[in-house]
Amino acid sequence: MKKLFSFFIIILLIFSSQLNAIAAKNQHLALKSKGAVLLDSETGAVLYAKNADKRLYPASLTKIATAIYAIEKGNLDSIVTVSKNAVEQDGTRVYLIEGEQITLKKLIQGMLINSGNDAAVAIAEHIDGSVERFAANLNRYLKTTVGVNNTNFSNPNGLFAKNHYTTAMDLAIITNYAIKNPVFTEIFGTKVLKWEGKSWKTTLLTHHRMLKGELPYKGITGGKTGFTTEAKQTLATTADNGKLKLTAIVLNSDQKKDKYDDTAILFDYGFKTFHHVTLKQGEIFKMDTKEYYPENDTVITENVNGCIKRLNNGGALSIENNNGQVIQLVSLKYKEPMPKKVPKKIEKPTENKQQLYGANALYGIIFIAAAGVLIGVRKKFTRGY
């Protein structure tokens, strides 16, 4: 069942990834980030895209992929022994020490909340034995399970490597996949966490300023920050206004402020411009003589000013804005035509049957006449007595 669900998710994500060029072409937002994507977290609809398939460096947004892979493959209660290699990582850390033993879940918390590069390597070595093997397995997992094709990660933490890249669209799809997991969602949305390590006892605070509340935006539910000199500023954020749930990715912002401003612009646009509508089970959509229908009630995302529903030859329903921007593709089921009823032939009586019918009729008349005579004679004799 899990494989079937994963296959279904991959098909939907492949459909969604084909929409970004159209979405970017038909709408312009004043974003400073080089790459950006806004998705409906529930339907996967692509609401906005800018340079969505351009290869860019993700920095610590890599840790979103590391986290969901570790959560799905590992045992969260398993004990990880920290290696020298993990301890020697550059950049942001949770100050692990060699030989320290810590649960996998706590390492994932330290990696996502405090962006610990040491924690990320400790996770990789625990899950797959080495960073190199982890990277190979992670890339395979992202292709076959999550359904992205423009991503290659050479490490678990996002420290710069020339062959370590992704796209805004791929990261949006990865994040959207990850937030379906309740453990990931809990950690992704954690603002404050008490941390007690062997060498560091502190309170971890999320680095994401919108999630933390330093840059207030109503409805923020989770987030991850990133920065390297080569990647510049990167940001992943989720939000929920009670009607829509949105996922925003921005990559390659020059200034830290820019990535937050761009994220707010994306959310403002998404919440103001779109809403959910339900395609009813069995609702018929026609193309020429063929009919298609949703097998179940299906939630779609459409522009608040209405949309165009266009059926293609493959039976996919395209949800478009009035200006032609494709928002979502929904697979429908082909309705088999009803077999034509063949009229029953009325059998004409043959000559023999006609003669038989005539004889039977004659015998009937003779029988009725004889019965009448007998009744008359009987009455006559009765009166005589």
Instruction: Find the mean pLDDT for residues 179-192.
Output: 98
93 versus 3: the higher-pLDDT residue is 93
Percentage of residues in the chain having pLDDT higher than 90: 66
Q: Annotated catalytic, 115? A: yes
Which of the residues 17, 33, 41, 115 is marked catalytic? Answer: 115
Active-site residue (options: 50, 63, 224, 245): 63
Higher pLDDT, 340 or 372: 340
pLDDT band at 350 (very low <50, low <70, confident <90, very high): low
Least confident of 90-104, 256-270, 275-289: 275-289
Listed range (160-164, 226-230, 287-291, 368-372) with the worst mean pLDDT: 368-372
What's residue 11's pLDDT? 46
The torsion of the CA quartet 158, 163, 168, 169, rounded to 10 degrees, works out to -120
pLDDT tens per residue, range 21-39 = 344 344 689 999 999 999 9
**Is 60 tagged catalytic?**
yes
Which has more pLDDT, 52 or 8? 52
Q: Domains of the chain by range and CATH?
A: 2-276 (3.40.710.10), 280-334 (no CATH)
253 classed as catalytic = no
What's the pLDDT at 333?
A: 82
Which of 7-11, 232-236, 350-354, 365-369 is predicted least confidently? 7-11
Average pLDDT score, the chain:
86
Least confident of 15-19, 24-28, 66-70, 170-174: 15-19
pLDDT score for 310: 85
Catalytic residue among 60, 83, 154, 253: 60
pLDDT(284) > 80: yes
Give the model's pLDDT for residue 248.
98
**What is the rounded CA–CA span in Å between residue 372 and residue 352?**
30
What pLDDT band is residue 328 in, cutting at 50, 70 and 90?
Answer: confident
18 vs 58: CA distance, rounded Å: 21
